[in-house]
Structure 1
Amino acid sequence: MRCRFIWASRGKTVLSQAQSRIATNGIHIIYEDDSLVAINKEAGLLVHRSWLDKGETRFAVQLTRDAVGCHVFPVHRLDRPTSGVLLFAKNAVIARQLSEAFSAHQIEKSYLAIVRGFMPAQGRLDYALSFQADAIADKFADLDKPAQEAITYWQSLAQIELPFAVSKKHATSRYSLVRLLPETGRKHQLRRHMAHLFHPIVGDTSHGEGRHNRFFRQHYGCGRLLLHAQHLNFRHPLNNTPLQLTAPLDSQWHQLAQAFNWQCYLN
């Protein structure tokens, strides 16, 4: 499969931020029609209710349902600490069509991430991922599942070397702003793939490095996972119109971009 780095492609209906709105319950709706609704999920927001987080009261599914006034069906997933485009269908038929499109790799996803170290200019990682069970949520799952194919493309957008010795091995610390394009959609794929390449995503408490996470908290006040689902490209399931949904970055991203002089790379 070809490496795809151009996201404002020919024929795409690129939706402007003027079409988005903030609902009264605070959810950021970036697109809505009679069949679909997409939100900009904030970092830390669960997609749906989970018995693992009984104390939580805010969930993307319920907030979106309340904002649009009808039942909504999630057609893909975003990890709790990941922000960005989250797409819902308004009926079961559309939900099934979109879920099948995701499974068939017909929907293009583009993420921004800040990772440790200087990444090569661009590349492709084909590295199968074994099933990674959660001690509680997956206690009844089949632990003998074979590793599943997982493919990620990346493009390095910008780099910075900071005069701080986060590691005892180096007098400075290096970071890269990268665009990540997952061809497959495995659990924690981008986070695990970046860790496999020894360029873990900053803020990743499961697959990252605590020293760099602490450095960003202490020096920049940023404790979130620096992974954002920025674009979603697909064809509308009813009329086949090409759509590009874009989720704006939050204030912590813009604060870091200003500190690192990366503002021009955020689109």
Structure 2
Amino acid sequence: MCTDQKPLLKVLYQDDCLAVVSKPEKLLTHRTEIANGDQYFALQLARDLFGKRVWPLYRLDRGTSGALMFAFDPQTVSALAQQTHETFQKQYFAIVRGTSEKTMLIDHALKPPVDPYLRVQKTEAQEAKTLLTTLASAEVPVSSGKYETTRLSLVKLELLTGRRHQIRRHMKFIAHPIIGDATYGKGPLNRALAEYFGRDRLYLHCCGISFLHPRTGTRVSITDRLDGDFAETVKQLRWVNYI
């Protein structure tokens, strides 16, 4: 979906060497071959917002909302890139099909997705680990396969490794696909739930990041609360404690 209206980036954190903004859903992090007519990108908006060149520290998929970090100089990029997943942590909220275990470690190696724009493709499966915590569950009167209703869960996910589409692919692997995921989810169910809720999006949101500041070495933790369509769906499901 193209982004025609200029989105607004909410600043969650800013200092002399980096900033964290809240990326809206359906906004690409930067211009790519899949832009498909998009006029605005988070990188461009952040550059205009801060009045200087910026470097994204990681990418959020088009449909994923939430905390997105930009550095103001290459030295900060290099320092943060050297941090491991033990020191640079990212957490996500997602609404998924079904009810999973209360807590579980998803330890499932992933092959890099095929990228038609790369001449050399990596084919070896890479270690991939995601920590899942189920926060709330509900049942809605939307048919799913042979069932007349659908159970949904709000989960919190922490990346212990960083593979492309890791969360979305891991949730598909454990048979709890993310609602609204057109690539790894269930198309008929996504459409039925979009009609039921009256809103259509990928229910994946980067709700928090924590890292060691590249200059001071102190830990910085930033939270990005749910809002917009995600928050409205959470209210509809009576999971208001997590907004």
Structure 1 length as normaliser, TM-score?
0.85
Q: Residue in 2 aligned with 1:141?
A: 120
**How far is the alpha carbon of 1:52 from its aligned partner?**
3.1
* Contact 1:36–1:87, Cα closer than 8 Å, also in 2: yes
- Superposed CA offset, 1:99-149 (max 9, x none): 121x55421111000000011101001100012113x334x2325x21000
Q: Residue in 2 aligned with 1:7?
A: none
Q: Residue in 2 aligned with 1:30?
A: 12
- Please point out which of 125, 139, 157 is paired with 1:161: 139
Q: Residue in 2 aligned with 1:95?
A: 77
Query: RMSD across aligned C-alpha pairs, in angstroms?
Result: 1.6
Q: Residue in 2 aligned with 1:262?
A: 239
Distance 2:41 2:227 in 1: 19
Q: Residue in 2 aligned with 1:39?
A: 21
1:1-267 equivalent positions in 2, closer than 5 A: 26-53=8-35, 55-101=37-83, 103=84, 105-134=86-115, 136-138=116-118, 140-143=119-122, 145-167=123-145, 169-266=146-243
Residues 162 and 61 of structure 1: CA distance in aligned 2, closer, same or farther (over 3 Å): same
Structure 1: gaps spanning 5 or more residues: 1-23
* Contact 1:161–1:174, Cα closer than 8 Å, also in 2: yes
Percent identity reads: 37
* Contact 2:178–2:202, Cα closer than 8 Å, also in 1: yes
Count of paired positions: 238
**How far is the alpha carbon of 1:263 from its aligned partner?**
0.7
**How far is the alpha carbon of 1:160 from its aligned partner?**
0.5
* Contact 1:40–1:248, Cα closer than 8 Å, also in 2: no
Structure 2 length as normaliser, TM-score?
0.93
**How far is the alpha carbon of 1:33 from its aligned partner?**
0.7
Structure 2: gaps spanning 5 or more residues: 1-5
Q: Residue in 2 aligned with 1:6?
A: none
Distance 2:66 2:228 in 1: 13
Distance 2:201 2:36 in 1: 21
Residues 25 and 263 of structure 1: CA distance in aligned 2, closer, same or farther (over 3 Å): closer
Distance 1:104 1:221 in 2: 37
* Contact 2:85–2:159, Cα closer than 8 Å, also in 1: no
* Runs of 4+ deviating beyond 3 Å: none
Q: Residue in 2 aligned with 1:16?
A: none
Residues 87 and 262 of structure 1: CA distance in aligned 2, closer, same or farther (over 3 Å): same
**How far is the alpha carbon of 1:171 from its aligned partner?**
2.2
User: Residue 174 of structure 1: SS of its match in structure 2?
Assistant: strand
